Structure 1
Amino acid sequence: MTASPFDDIRALAASPPMADTTPDLAQGDRLAEISSWLSAWTGKARPAVNRPVVALYAGARQGVGPRGYARDRLEAVASGAATVCRLAGAQGAGLEAFDLAVDRPTPDAVDRPSMSEKECAATMAFGMEALAKQPDLLVPGVIAAESDLIAACLAMALFGGEAEDWSEAPAMVTRAVARATEEGALSDPLQVLRQLGGRETAAVAGAILAARIQKIPVLLDGYAATAAAAVLYRLEPALLDHCLAAHVGTSKGHARLLQALGKRPLVALNLAEEEGVGGAAAIALVKLACEAR
């Protein structure tokens, strides 16, 4: 059998370690549920969050959104002007922003695949670098123009339904998914990712997978990050056992996708902005849950 660039990814996903205990996520007491989840994955009877990290992955796509959007947002994060900088700082969280070649955009998925298998697998591996900081809670997020379009394409390809279920711009989503379908790419979640995702969603998927292997709890931030997680869910549902949904935003399809993944958001802030804002805000609730325990 011919080797695939995805073989190493599949090997990591094939046998993820189990939590030390089984978290009780149906207690009704949400603070107790969060505490139980942290205890299960950290192995600590008295859980604590001391090294949270918000990891943002920036990507760009040809012809989608304002030119230079991702570069401008990266500069805002670097200067401390972005909202997420203040929220992460208030929670004592580290903040990492990764430039995934934003000056070399991926193709528009309406026209052709976003990435080759080799590029997609390499980008997933790069996303795993967020774990180098050894966080005890990871919040992966996306910086990309119109990231909800990418999320909608992934969600529709992975879970079906109509484009109107997932996006406010259904025509573009329909065209992209139809093009990928013609190439017979939708039976394999990793092919869905490389056909319809961006570098930023590939990197988020890699970060979530690495956290699962290392048993590090994850808060999913925003529609695009949730869509990246959905790729792993379609590979093996247990790959998201270490994840909670930080929040549900205003992007059409976000709540629907969380429901498909069986994830109940910690907070509903009606945020239109993604880029780690909802995830950073939810860190506060997780810390409160530690204190309540």
Structure 2
Amino acid sequence: MLRLTSAGRRTFVTSAVSMTTSKCSRLQGKVAIVTASTDGIGFSIAKRLAQEGAKVMISSRKEKNVNNAVKVLTDEGLTVSGLVCHVGKAEDRSRLFTETKLQFGGLDILVSNAAANPGVGPVLDSEESIWDKTFDINVKSTYLLMKEALPLLRERKSPSIILMTSISGYQPFNTLGIYSITKTALLALCKTVAEDLAPESIRVNCIAPGIIKTRFSEPLYKSEAANEIALAKIPLNRLGEPDEIAGVAAFLASDDASYITGETIVAGGGMASRL
């Protein structure tokens, strides 16, 4: 039985369908928020967390995208709700946490996946407005999401925060200069906050994807020439798939990673990143 109701910008879905697509139950009883989760990597992460037993609140800036994603996941028997949320707006973030608490009773897992890349080109050729917007969404909003999630996370037994950075945080992409800098900043944010929250047993980790086959990263591989350049940098000689990043997220969110905090897992097919 499926019930779908809409109240303004909110969309709540509950389902009594058996979760026939479950991979395992590592996250049974846990509640997760995944931002920017109606397509690409975010959608795959939301799906995987739900398949492993979590109740998941997905979000996006557009209600149509939220409704579509919620329908797809509930049709698979997964327990999700959806909410419109622009992570750069304080009122949207507040509503995201409030409604997650109302719908699912709390929060165990926060996945900060939302990102912006409003401009391409060398850093010093970019407009100040591009710098401001990229940092506001990619870094400042991530910081605020973590800060505002703390009251809920502190109520849970083994909470976890996962930040989506990028392999470009280690090895900047020439055409994505400012974006790459924000992803480097997230590496430092992860380590700093992980140390601060370790005494409370709240784990904080990063995932640094390489070139993943998503709409967001199409400029890096869409043309034949770009694809050849991309593949030349990847020892596995293929682009990554969103589900492969989702598997890493599910691991970090689970108790299998209970002794891991302040770390970054690079999933880039062997691309150069770090020693």
Give the TM-score normalised by the residue count of structure 2. Answer: 0.39
Which structure features the higher share of helix residues? 1
- State the TM-score, normalized to the length of structure 1: 0.37
Which structure has more strand as a fraction of its residues? 2
